[in-house]
Amino acid sequence: MKKTIMILMCLVGLMTANAQEVNKATVQDQAKAAAAAQGDLKKVDTGEKLWKFSGVTGLNAAATGMVNWAAGGNNNVNGVIFARMRLLYHKDKLAWDSSLDTEYGLSYIDQTYDKMQKSNDKFNISSKLGYELAKGWYATALVGFRTQYALGRNYEGKGDENPIISKMLAPAYTDVSVGLDWKPNDIFSVYVSPIAGRFTTVMVSKGMNDKYNNLYPVSAGGLEQALKDKYAVWKYNDSNEKDYSMNTRSELGFSLKGAINYAFSDLKVTTTLGLYTPYSWDKTEIGRNEKGNPIYRDNNRRIGNFDVDWDVALSYQFMKCLQATLSTSLRYYNGVMIDKDGYSCERVQFKSILGVGLGYNF
């Protein structure tokens, strides 16, 4: 009987030791599997990147040739190069959104005058930095700058004698503001700023003033004064006469900006709308214009009169390297006078471009 009990006890001991070895091996295998799974998980790209870069760039061109064409017309070649880019950074509560919208176009027309004409010219850059206060709502600071590359002219068949109506830094618009930005996603945003500064600049060098003194006599202020008058970079003095001594008109006002950046398959849509009104209010009447309407000291730069900037761009990519684009721009600036039918006043400005050419979406 004792021998039997001893044998049973030995068997139980062996079974217990073997079970412990099995359990230990199982635990070790499970730990190794967990460590491997954790390593694989670290390698997975969830798609949530700190930096996101997107945009569209391309070249649109068209040519028209005619021989003995009864309906008339001129041979011509048109070309426009453009780029619209956006860079996003988002980490924790910090968000940074920067964009570039630029284009330049020329037309060659087979005629005896004004053969080479500028058709497009734009350089817009903006950047805003925000800190998230609540989901989708950011306390934001914004900086924007807009100007152009080359001389702008009214083409009247006079060659180099055509009137100059704009140039680089004449005008240039610089916006600096702080406000609240609502960004529910990376597609849509609305920015409201009750503290918005706008600086309208007209810069013309003495050399350029002297160069065009046949068109704009220096004794009468030259090209500089002509452009300052056109873009309202002046102020009335105590004698109610225009003072052109400043190069920049500074204003404080209210700004509202909205933006949509949407991409679906090969279609990309970008649109921005900007509204701005200064807080100034001076209704001192100093005279009447050609139509008998009152002229005020602030040249219509006062609260309630909104400047409007609205840009829309659509692009469709096909056959990998070919692209169809449609872009429109609408402007309305208070104080910017446009001559038409012998009458100068503020007018709605509109431009559209439809083209097919080489392009790339990214």
Amino acid 34: pLDDT: 46
Residue 298 burial (C-beta neighbours within 10 Å; 0-12, 13-18, 19+): buried
Residue 22 pLDDT level (bands cut at 50, 70, 90):
very low
Amino acid 130: pLDDT: 96
Indicate the length of the chain as a whole number. Answer: 362
Query: For residue 255, what are the β-bridge partners?
Result: 193, 276
pLDDT over threshold 70, residue 317: yes
Indicate the pTM of the whole model: 0.81
Residue 289 pLDDT level (bands cut at 50, 70, 90):
confident
pLDDT over threshold 80, residue 28: no
Quote the CA–CA distance of 187 and 197 in Å, as a whole number. Answer: 26
Residues 112-127 as b or e (16 or more Cβ within 10 Å = b)? eeeeeebebbbbbebe
The lowest-confidence range among 14-23, 70-79, 134-143 is 14-23
Amino acid 6: pLDDT: 54
Over residues 32-56, the mean pLDDT reads 61
The lowest-confidence range among 102-111, 196-205, 218-227, 331-340 is 331-340
Q: How many CB atoms lie within 10 A of CB 340?
A: 8
Residue 48 pLDDT level (bands cut at 50, 70, 90):
low
Amino acid 32: pLDDT: 56
Residue 256 pLDDT level (bands cut at 50, 70, 90):
very high
pLDDT over threshold 70, residue 8: no
Q: How far is CA 159 from the centre of its chain?
A: 33
pLDDT over threshold 90, residue 250: yes
Give the pLDDT confidence of 87-129 residue by residue, as tens digits. Answer: 999 999 999 999 999 999 999 999 889 999 999 999 999 999 9
Residue 150, phi then psi, degrees to nearest 5: -130, 175
Contact 100, 82 (CB under 8 A): no
Q: What percent of the chain has pLDDT over 70?
A: 87
Over residues 224-236, the mean pLDDT reads 92
Quote the CA–CA distance of 15 and 21 in Å, as a whole number. Answer: 10
Amino acid 24: pLDDT: 47
Give the pLDDT confidence of 51-61 residue by residue, as tens digits. Answer: 999 898 999 98
Quote the CA–CA distance of 269 and 198 in Å, as a whole number. Answer: 28
H-run or E-run covering 177: strand 172-182
| Dihedral angle over CA of 110, 113, 119, 123, nearest 10 | 130
Average pLDDT of every residue of the chain: 85
Amino acid 361: pLDDT: 82
DSSP code string of 21-63: HHHHHHHHHHHHHHHHHHHHHHH---S--SEEEEEEEEEEEEE
Closest CA to 103 of 84, 79, 78, 122: 122
- In three-state secondary structure terms, 2 is helix
Six-digit token string for 191: 């920015």
Residue 342 pLDDT level (bands cut at 50, 70, 90):
confident
Query: For residue 253, what are the β-bridge partners?
Result: 196, 278
Closest CA to 283 of 298, 263, 272, 301: 298
- Cα R_g (the chain), whole angstroms: 33
pLDDT over threshold 50, residue 42: no
Contact 359, 326 (CB under 8 A): no
Q: Which residues contact 290 (CB under 8 A, 6 or more apart)?
A: 343, 344
Quote the CA–CA distance of 213 and 231 in Å, as a whole number. Answer: 20
Q: How far is CA 4 from the centre of its chain?
A: 94
Cis ω on the peptide bond leading into residue 171 (within 30° of 0)? yes
Amino acid 17: pLDDT: 47
